[in-house]
Amino acid sequence: LFLALRNALRYFPPTHHNHLASEFAQELRQYGHIYMYRFCPPVHMRAYPIDQYPCRTPQAASIMLMIMNNLDPAVAQFPQELVTYGGNGQVFSNWAQFRLVMHYLSEMTEEQTLVMYSGHPAGLFPSLPSSPRAIITNGMVIPNYSSREQYEKMFALGVSMYGQMTAGSYCYIGPQGIVHGTMLTVLNAGRRYLGSDDLRGRVLVTSGLGGMSGAQAKAAVIAGCVGVIAEVDATPLRKRHEQGWLMEVTSDIEHCIRRIREAKRSKTPLSLGYHGNVVDLWERLLKEYEMTDELLVDLGSDQTSLHNPFSGGYYPVQLSFQQANQLMATDPAHFKTMVHESLCRQVAAINKLSEAGMFFWDYGNAFLLEAQRAGAAVQKEGGGATEFRYPSYVQHIMGDIFSLGFGPFRWVCTSGDSRDLALTDDIAATVLEEISANVTERVQQQYNDNIRWIREAGKHSMVVGSQARILYSDQKGRVCIALAINKAIADGRVSAPVVISRDHHDVSGTDSPFRETSNVYDGSAFCADMAVQNFVGDAFRGATWVSLHNGGGVGWGEVINGGFGLLLDGSEEAAKRASLMLNWDVSNGVARRCWSGNSNAYETIQRTMKEQRQLRVTMPFPVQDEHVLDRALQG
């Protein structure tokens, strides 16, 4: 307590320490962290048009815009705690840091770089005009100390924080990103597991309707299936229903079973929110199968926040929502035991339904990892360190897409004008239609999915906060879209600069052995060279800001990930930066996946080298005769 308090007070002159110390101590005792609530600004937090920020350079103004979007109450999960999404994914660690960062950005010139240490602004340092205007790191700790227990200690001390992925890198665009990614996951799951992309009458059962997981309801309907999502907390259920993402809500599990059967038979798209514990739902579906021999679920997954299982990320079935909240505060050890028991029950029901014909996958939320730690039957016989009884969605679904170079590319229209967004939508769709004529069938299928998405984006009302859009594109598509948007800014068709970015959950940005790199089988899944190289390479190839994080998705100590923001202002310099940086940002990951033995990545990087004469990638020579290995080892 003493050290945490001293750390917080160093932001202020000694004349204020006596007054602030007792206030900060109370926050620390009550919340386990000093948020400095008194310094939360009274201004309405949102992404204002870029010309309204008091800055000396548009690059700094673009960063301010993105920060304020991440803290917009319409976007952020817990804005008062500076949490954007994922339960604990923060933009900053306290409100003094927010104020100091905004002050530095207002003074920044194009020969300075803002250096950020886990939410703390170390200051403005001299740099080149070609350098990033901000370098962000979150949660970087010595590897042997990258544990959940150490995180809680460091967070309480105010010396580190969990930036998730796009929370601490200022690049979150609301739930639109995960809606699109989930829609693509469900579509490609149907193709792989069910042999069809016509999902009418097919049922997906999952859980979670909070920040990221809330997208599941909307994505299921866009994909055309029946989505049944369990949620224990009434607040996100009500929020998703009011915004139209959940079509129906019920707390009656028997009504839930009836509606599943009706929608399945009529082949009517439906998003149904079950207000209750997902374990109860899985066990009731199993009971129905055992009684009637009718399997009501085709696809299954889970999106509870199991990167944070003992602090509100997962609620055990044995307790009500209120009882669980009380127990996790009063008896954490007993609560942990109940979480483990609940996970074992959940897995037992899933296993039996899977044996009956349901297809289940881990959605990269550490579900199988935590279930394994709980003692549940999720081991894969003869499997490696990253393999379980069920695949992660990267291993079976999205991994092949990453290996083709496709990933979540996004942009934000800094004017705040919906007309600019509509125009950039049309530009992006037109670009993809033009370049899709001479591609392989697998690439063509991904282009078609994304052209359909972007052409229909307006009617799905996905914009929350900034005027932003996301689509999945490969290397060529990203570069061509960025250059076309930059030209539209230069021509005056788009009225203000545009920030381009991506999710860290991408081809190159993340080393995560239980998610993004779970389909890397050469023994390097636990290596983090790719993500670190990506961060460094983006920095000197033209990014406006770059970030590198420990944690994100599957939890602290389980992943290294990074991202970028790049401001397109219509200049030739912006076009040069975008082309150079985006080509690297994708090729880096495809090359790594190629070297690990992925055939899709091998073909993709071969084609890219033919198109870019300066690109030279070390290509693997696969062992063609396995007996060579046997003879050598026996000898």
Between CA 59 and CA 564 the distance in angstroms is: 13
Residue 553's pLDDT band (boundaries 50, 70, 90)? confident
CA dihedral 179, 181, 186, 187 (to 10 degrees): 110
At residue 497, does pLDDT exceed 80? yes
Measured CA to CA in angstroms, residue 504 lies from 166, 192, 359, 499, 507 at distances of 7, 25, 27, 16, 9
Between CA 237 and CA 229 the distance in angstroms is: 10
Give me the pLDDT at residue 30, please.
Answer: 93
Provide φ and ψ at 620, rounded to 5°.
-80, 150
At residue 364, does pLDDT exceed 80? no
Residues 366-383 have pLDDT tens digits of 899 999 999 999 998 887
- Structure tokens belonging to residue 279: 């374990």
Higher pLDDT, 303 or 420: 420
Partners of residue 249 on adjacent β-strands: 273
Residues 461-474 have pLDDT tens digits of 788 899 999 999 99
Indicate the DSSP class of residue 388. Answer: B
The pLDDT mean for the chain works out to 93
CATH T-level assignment (fold) for domain 401-611: Urocanase fold (3.40.1770)
- What single-letter amino acid sits at 36? M
Residue 276's pLDDT band (boundaries 50, 70, 90)? very high
CATH T-level assignment (fold) for domain 2-57+69-74+92-157: Urocanase fold (3.40.1770)
For 617, the 3-state DSSP assignment is: coil
- Structure tokens belonging to residue 1: 């307590």
Between CA 249 and CA 83 the distance in angstroms is: 27
Between CA 18 and CA 80 the distance in angstroms is: 24
Span between the terminal Cα atoms of the chain, in Å? 61
- What single-letter amino acid sits at 106? S
Pairing of strands 83-85, 89-90: antiparallel
- DSSP letters of 252-263? -HHHHHHHHHHH
- Structure tokens belonging to residue 176: 């639109």
Between CA 377 and CA 366 the distance in angstroms is: 15
Measured CA to CA in angstroms, residue 16 lies from 10, 11, 22, 24, 507 at distances of 10, 10, 11, 12, 48
Between CA 188 and CA 395 the distance in angstroms is: 12
Between CA 571 and CA 558 the distance in angstroms is: 40
Nearest to 203 by CA among 231, 227, 219, 179: 227
CA atoms within 13 Å, Cβ hemisphere of 560: 19
Between CA 253 and CA 244 the distance in angstroms is: 22
Q: Where are the domains of the chain?
A: 2-57+69-74+92-157, 176-391, 401-611
Between CA 300 and CA 352 the distance in angstroms is: 12
Give me the pLDDT at residue 607, please.
Answer: 95
Q: Is the pTM of this model over 0.95?
A: no
Residues 402-414 have pLDDT tens digits of 999 999 999 999 9
Between CA 90 and CA 336 the distance in angstroms is: 24
Nearest to 260 by CA among 202, 324, 199, 194: 202
CA dihedral 590, 595, 596, 601 (to 10 degrees): 40
- DSSP letters of 163-214? -TTTTTTT----THHHHHHHHHHHHHHIIIIIS-S--TT-EEEEE--STTTT
Classify residue 132 by burial, with Cβ atoms within 10 Å: 0-12, 13-18, 19+.
buried
* Residue indicated by tokens 């500076």: 82
- Structure tokens belonging to residue 342: 């609940």
At residue 457, does pLDDT exceed 70? yes
Within 10 angstroms of residue 415's Cβ, the number of other Cβ atoms is: 18
Provide φ and ψ at 217, rounded to 5°.
-65, -50
Residues 446-456 have pLDDT tens digits of 999 899 889 88
Pairing of strands 120-126, 112-117: antiparallel
Partners of residue 248 on adjacent β-strands: 272
Using a CB cutoff of 8 Å and minimum separation of 24, what contacts does 607-616 make? 608/405, 608/475, 611/476, 612/583, 615/583, 615/587
Indicate the DSSP class of residue 358. Answer: -
Q: Do domains 2-57+69-74+92-157 and 401-611 have the same CATH topology?
A: yes
Residue 609's pLDDT band (boundaries 50, 70, 90)? very high
Residues 45-95 have pLDDT tens digits of 999 999 999 999 999 999 999 999 999 998 998 999 999 988 889 999 999
Q: Which helix (H) or strand (E) holds 275?
A: strand 270-275
In this structure, whether the domain defined by 176-391 belongs to CATH 1.10.540.10 is answered with no
At residue 270, does pLDDT exceed 70? yes
Residue 112's pLDDT band (boundaries 50, 70, 90)? very high
Residue 245's pLDDT band (boundaries 50, 70, 90)? confident
Give me the pLDDT at residue 318, please.
Answer: 97
Residue 212's pLDDT band (boundaries 50, 70, 90)? low
Give me the pLDDT at residue 307, please.
Answer: 80
Residue 211's pLDDT band (boundaries 50, 70, 90)? low
Query: CA quadruple 293, 296, 299, 300: dihedral positive or negative?
Result: negative
- Exposure string over 277-308, b if 16+ CB within 10 A, otherwise e: bbbbbbbbbbebbeeeeeebbbbbbbbbbbbb
Q: What is the mean pLDDT of residues 245-269?
A: 96
Give me the pLDDT at residue 515, please.
Answer: 85
